[in-house]
Structure 1
Amino acid sequence: MNFDLNVVPFSRRGTFLAISELPEAGERQEGLYLRTVRGGDDKFGEAFLIELLDKHGQFIPYEAQASPSLLRLDTDSAPVYAEVCMTDAHTVRFRTKGCGLRLTFRTSAYDYAYEHSVGNWEVNSFTHECRFMLISLTGKLQMEVPWDKIKSSRIVAEFSPEEGTDSVEFAVQEFRTVWEPCESWAPWEQAAGAVREEFDAWLNASLTVPERWQAGRELAAYITWSCLVPDEGCLTRPAMYMSKNWMTNIWSWDHCFNAMALVRNNPKLAWDQFMIFFDRQNESGLIPDFINDKYELWNCNKPPIHGWTLAWMMQRTDFIKESHLREVYGPLCRWTNWWFYYRDHDGDGIPQYNHGNDSGWDNSTAFNNGIPVESPDLATFLILQIEVLAEIAGLLGLTDESAAWRRLGEETLERMLRHFWKGGRFIACRSGTHEVSEGDSLLLFVPILLGKRLPQHILQSLLEGLRDESRFLTPNGWATESVKSPYYTPDGYWRGPIWAPSTMLLVEGAAAAGDIELAREVSHRFCSMLDKSGMAENFDALTGEGLRDRAFTWTSSVFLILGHEYTT
């Protein structure tokens, strides 16, 4: 498998490092960059520009060929090339044939470089909050690091072959505090082969899909494998970032879909993905909107899909034991109660979203008339979460608590139907005034997750809407805003494009309602689109073109889940 570095970064499991082709922007020139994704998506993190050099020090054009374990830079002058391999979480190995290689670091703040020891130069990057050691293994290293009062004004490292040879080997190691020299370096073939074996093992453990989508499966497996970062800083467990392009965080509903894709074959890692936000839970019960290694964001949050997720996972693994249920029960209780206590300002028993971001559907037309908004999807998630809490309480012998949760679930379902089912459809409305929102959003079909808990006439109406090929159902799946709506926009984020989470939720909803044929048909359309267009953040509903960030883990995870669950 090869992939385009303009779209999918070259990286590996357990590292904050990545290599990408980047366009010209500001002072940055177009080219191939070694990056770090530390610090979240408020930093882009380009560290070193990578260039091939001829024997006169002139740039040699190349074409990048990236695979999961090896990045090869081929030139028109065979056998002149370079290879790059990320051999562990902190090390990038380089070797060249018939050429040299230059790394250029654009400095700012107090960035500097100095010779640490013979053949080893430390680059201390205040900008990236880490350090890099440039380690010459074979060949010559020439550094250009002019000093400018408090920093190096530029840092240029040129690695070139020794006289009479035609190759170079060197490494770049990332570290934060103290660098420990490597006692010995494995031969290149051995080091690269170990990475290839590691990815192959991950691929083999990934969910199977029909043969026609094997290219998509390999890409999805690579993206999920390569987006894992270590448990450092605010990250209490190994974490699967949404991407190593721009969305270099984990959000508090995205992580659920990644956990679901892992639970059958990698349940320990799946549990880590599911629990990581509860590790950072506020005493009020709130969990943060997103986390990265450096900080958490508390300005908004995401919907409580965690009970639904946990129930789904429990049905598919024997890994989740009593100890896991005891670990999650208290945090899930607090998260559920938070919505009823802190997000029901008009006291009608129907919790609200204070902003579109809180729903995950940031700019959905459900929020057209202003905020806060009461929406039936939120009530649905809470009902499902309450039911799971009732089940867990029963399994833990908490009989009274189990009964109390069941009563709350029944009451919430009754209130939800009275509150939102109007004129043969579900509506969203302003909290307090209950002014009905404009638009025709797919968000209002999420209650189908309740399946047979809903009256038959409501289920039938929801299914008819989801089957309507002139409204939501396109050749590629469900648009997030009806294609007939005046608010529909092809690249309108949640006002038209197809998304993985909405697809996953509603496929499961169609199945819960008893329409397995619809669930399979939409899964087939969606997976076919992804196999063709890649694992983008979202997709043009009519053309299937990938939009925004195009190497997204939750898209990859949903592809694997639906391809395995509904099309095999």
Structure 2
Amino acid sequence: MNFNIKTVPFSTHGSFLVISHISVPGYGEGLYIRNIRGGDEDLGPVFKIDVIDEHKDIVPYEVQAEPALLSLLTKDEGKIRFCFSSPETIRIQSCKYGVRLTAVTGSYDYSVKNSDGTWEINSFAQEIRFNLAQHKGEMHVDAPFKELRSTHMIIDLIPNERNGLDAALTEYKTVLPKQPDYQDFESVVEKARSDFRAWVDKMLPAPKWLKPGHDLATYITWSCVVKSEGLLTRKAMYMSKNWMTNIWSWDNCFNAMALAKHQPELAWDQFMIFFDHQDESGVLPDFINNRYALWNCCKPPIHGWTLKCMMERTDYIGKEQLQEVYEPLCKWTDWWMNYRDDDGDGIPQYNHGNDSGWDNSTIFHSGTPIESPDLSAFLILQMEVLSEIGRKLGRDEEAFIWQERSEFLLKRMVEHFWKDGKFVALKSGEHTHTPSESLVLFIPLILGHRLGEEITAYLISGLKNFFTDHGFATERLSSPYYREDGYWRGPIWAPTTLILIKALKSVQQLEFASEAAKRFCRMANENGMAENFNAKTGEGLRDRAFTWTSSVFLLLANEYLRSKDYIS
């Protein structure tokens, strides 16, 4: 498979290093080696990559990218190749042309030559060091030092006529670890390909007509995993290695679901990593990266719903795992009831759109806090799951209480939100109706037949008003607030698609569910694993290499699109 480097970064499983096409002020547009630590406020550019000839003039090139190998191709059939030999090391190989690495420098950055002929490059801005070793060819370093820093750093890697060029760029924090014995470049490439094939073998299969999407989703999920480091207490699948370089506390749930069947331990790590950082009050952080967690908002409590889905997909989640998650899930549930019910009416609220995951949904158009039926619906299911876990753990009295609480909240939710034959969102305290034509008001369908025949029928029928040729728009197309690239005011999103398809299946709307899955998968197959999609055209929008989109694609293609001809 090949992918477009302008939309999908080149990286490897476990690595914080990325090669992607970006623009950096003062350095221009092009290919850069990036360090994606520290979150999405910084693209993390470290080196700009250029191809140079024997006169050190820059040569134009085209990029060919596949999971294990990135090649820069010149017009006269020159080829410069990049491959990860480990999550920390990028190997560079060429026969004819050289490579120029121009460091993106800041205060205190410097280079120094080591006694073994390698160079140390110290990036203060990125809080990381690099070792640059030349196995074949020559290395010319231009890094004049003035007062506190190198004023610039330009490294030219030049092939020699007999052996060509073979160099290694390795990241490290303090002292360079002992490096493995030298392996020739072809062996490194084959090892990288073997690692990727091993991941492919653990992916959910899909019908063959979805092979382009399956290939891309498989690569994106493989390459977006980073190793445990800092606040990342477990291996984590980032949302993207473009610029959404964090994990968010509902995005991770969809990745966990896709991994549950064939990689249950990694799936469990995705699910539990936020509970590792749970506040004493019970709230989970909004997002985490290796350096910090954000607590200004949170994400919706879909974790009980997720856990139920995971338990249906794997036997891995046994008593040990249930004991690990039970108390944290109790605290997370209670947090909403204790700290997000300002008017004391027994109905929890969102204090900001970000708390819902639907950041700018029209239910928040008139301000917050907002009581929305989707939040109560998720908590009703979460309480049910806690009741089920309690019984499995022999905590029968607690299980009974959780079931009672679930049933009580269900009754209150219907009384509170079902107005004039439809669900509405209400301003907390005032309980005034917030006019909205948002898809979020149909999420309560996850409760299935618990809602009764009238409400269920309304929700099923109403969903058809959001259903386009590509799937479920997040705002009704006739709404005055609909925007083609309006984030949660129109575009199609993977997580809500999966939630609603599973909801349709729960009420035996199998044909509707299958058709929704087909439309979404066809769209992603043709337009890539984008953060979201234009509901009218299917065009991919925003970040074009998103893991939760990839995971939802894999789940839907595997579970809802039946075929006798699967990718093997």
For the superposition of Structure 1 and Structure 2, which TM-score range results when normalised by the shorter chain?
Answer: over 0.9
Is the aligned partner of 1:12 residue 2:12?
Answer: yes
| Structure 1 position 177, deviation (Å) | 1.1
Counterparts of residues 138-537 of structure 1 (less than 5 Å):
138-162=136-160, 164-165=161-162, 167-467=164-464, 471-537=465-531
Q: Which amino acid aligns with 2:133?
A: I
User: Match of 1:561?
Assistant: 555
**Displacement, 1:183?**
4.5
> What are the Cα deviations for residues 275-300 of structure 1, in whole angstroms up to 9, with x where unaligned?
00000000100110000000000000
SS at match of 1:117: coil
TM-score, normalisation: structure 2: 0.98
Which residue of the partner structure matches residue 62 of structure 1?
61
Report SS of the residue matched to 1:330: helix
Cα deviations across residues 42-90 of structure 1 (Å, max 9, x unaligned)?
1110111111111111111110100000001110112x21000011110
Q: 1:105 aligns with which of 103, 106, 123?
A: 103
Q: Distance in 1 between matches of 2:97 and 2:341?
A: 66
Q: CA separation in 1, counterparts of 2:468 and 2:146?
A: 59
Please name the residue that 2:566 is paired with. none
Contact map agreement 1:500 1:555 (CA 8 A) in 2: yes
Q: C-alpha displacement at 1:191, in angstroms? A: 1.2
Name the residue aligned to 2:125. Answer: 127
What is the letter of the counterpart of residue 191 of structure 1? V
**In the alignment, residue 145 of structure 1 is paired with which amino acid?**
A
SS state of the match for residue 101, structure 2?
A: strand
* CA RMSD, Structure 1 to Structure 2 (Å): 0.8
CA distance in 1, matches of 2:332, 2:138: 58
Structure 1: distance between partners of 2:404 and 2:146: 70
Which shows bigger deviation, 179-188 or 105-114?
179-188
In the alignment, is the contact (CA less than 8 A) between 1:391 and 1:402 conserved in 2?
A: yes
Q: Are 1:100 and 1:167, in contact at CA under 8 Å, matched by a contact in 2?
A: no
* Aligned residue identity for 2:255: N
Per-residue CA deviations over 1:416-450 (Å, capped at 9, x if unaligned) read 00000111110001100011112200000000000
The answer (yes or no) to whether the contact 1:161–1:167 under 8 Å persists in 2 is: yes
**2:453 & 2:345 partners in 1: Cα distance?**
26
Q: Distance in 1 between matches of 2:171 and 2:536?
A: 44
Give 3-state SS (helix, strand or coil) of 1:205's partner.
coil
8 Å contact 1:62–1:73 — kept in the other structure? Answer: yes
Amino acid at match of 2:96: G
1:31 Cα deviation after fit: 0.9
Query: What percent identity do the matched residue pairs reach?
Result: 52
The structure-2 alpha-carbon separation of the partners of 1:456 and 1:278, relative to structure 1 and needing over 3 Å to count, comes to same
Instruction: Give the TM-score, by structure 1 length.
Output: 0.98
Q: Give the residue type in structure 2 aligned to 1:62.
A: Y
Residue type of the partner of 2:165? Answer: V
CA contact (8 A) 2:27 2:48 kept: no
- How far residue 161 of structure 1 moved from its aligned partner, in angstroms, is 2.0
Question: Offset at 1:28?
Answer: 3.0
Whether the 8 Å CA contact 2:474–2:492 is kept in 1: the answer is: yes
Q: Distance in 2 between matches of 1:446 and 1:161?
A: 59
Give the letter for the 2:496 counterpart.
Answer: S
Q: 1:271 aligns to what SS in structure 2?
A: helix
**Residue 86 (structure 1) aligns with:** 84
Aligned partners of 1:208, 1:101: CA distance in 2, in Å?
Answer: 39
Farther-moved stretch of structure 1 (264-273 vs 100-109)? 100-109
CA distance in 2, matches of 1:516, 1:336: 31
Please report how far the alpha carbon of residue 305 of structure 1 lies from its aligned counterpart in structure 2 after TM superposition.
0.1
**Shift, 1:167, TM fit:** 1.3
- CA displacement at 1:166 relative to structure 2: 6.1
Q: SS in structure 1 opposite 2:92?
A: strand
- 1:77 & 1:105 partners in 2: Cα distance? 28
In 2, distance between residues paired with 1:323 and 1:283? 22
CA distance in 2, matches of 1:351, 1:248: 30
Q: Output the CA distance in 2 between the equivalents of 1:69 and 1:507.
A: 34
Instruction: Give the corresponding residue for 2:115.
Output: 117
Any gaps of 5 or more consecutive residues in structure 2?
563-568
Match of 1:161, as an amino acid? P
Whether the 8 Å CA contact 1:98–1:166 is kept in 2: the answer is: no
Segments of 4+ in structure 1 off by > 4 A? none
- Distance in 2 (alpha carbons) for counterparts of 1:119 and 1:452: 71
Describe the SS at the equivalent of 1:389: helix
8 Å CA contact retained: 2:136, 2:163: no
Q: Is the 8 A contact 1:97 1:167 kept in 2?
A: yes
What secondary structure, in the 3-state scheme, does the structure 2 residue paired with 1:158 have?
strand
2:342 & 2:115 partners in 1: Cα distance? 63
Q: Shift of residue 117 of structure 1?
A: 2.5
What amino acid does structure 2 have at the position aligned with 1:222?
Answer: Y
Name the aligned partner's letter for residue 473 of structure 1: F
Query: What is the rounded CA distance, in whole Å, between the counterparts of 2:305 and 2:104 in structure 1?
Result: 47
**CA offsets 1:241-293 (integer angstroms, 9 cap, x no match):** 00000000000000000000000000000000000000000010011000000
Q: Would the alpha carbon gap of residues 184 and 166 (structure 1) be closer, same or farther in structure 2, given more than 3 Å must change?
A: closer
**Counterpart contact for 2:202–2:262, Cα < 8 Å:** yes
How many residues end up aligned between the 2 structures?
Answer: 562
Which residue identity does 2:374 align to in structure 1? Answer: D
Residues 508-567 of structure 1 show CA distances to partners (whole Å, capped at 9, x for unaligned) of 111112101111000000000000000000000000000000000000000000111111
The 10-residue stretch of structure 1 (122-131 or 110-119) with the greater mean CA deviation from structure 2: 110-119
Match of residue 2 from structure 2: 2
Q: Contact (CA 8 Å) 1:439, 1:486: kept in 2 or not?
A: no
Letter in 1 for 2:107: A
Q: Deviations over 1:82-130 (max 9, x none)?
A: 0000111100000012111110002112111111223211111111111
* Cα deviation 1:319-348 (Å, max 9, x = unaligned): 111000000000000000000000000000
The code of the aligned residue for 1:412 comes to L
State the one-letter code of the partner of 1:534.
G
Q: 1:202 Cα shift?
A: 0.8
Where does residue 50 of structure 1 map in the other structure?
49
Tell me the distance in 1 between the aligned counterparts of 2:436 and 2:480.
Answer: 8
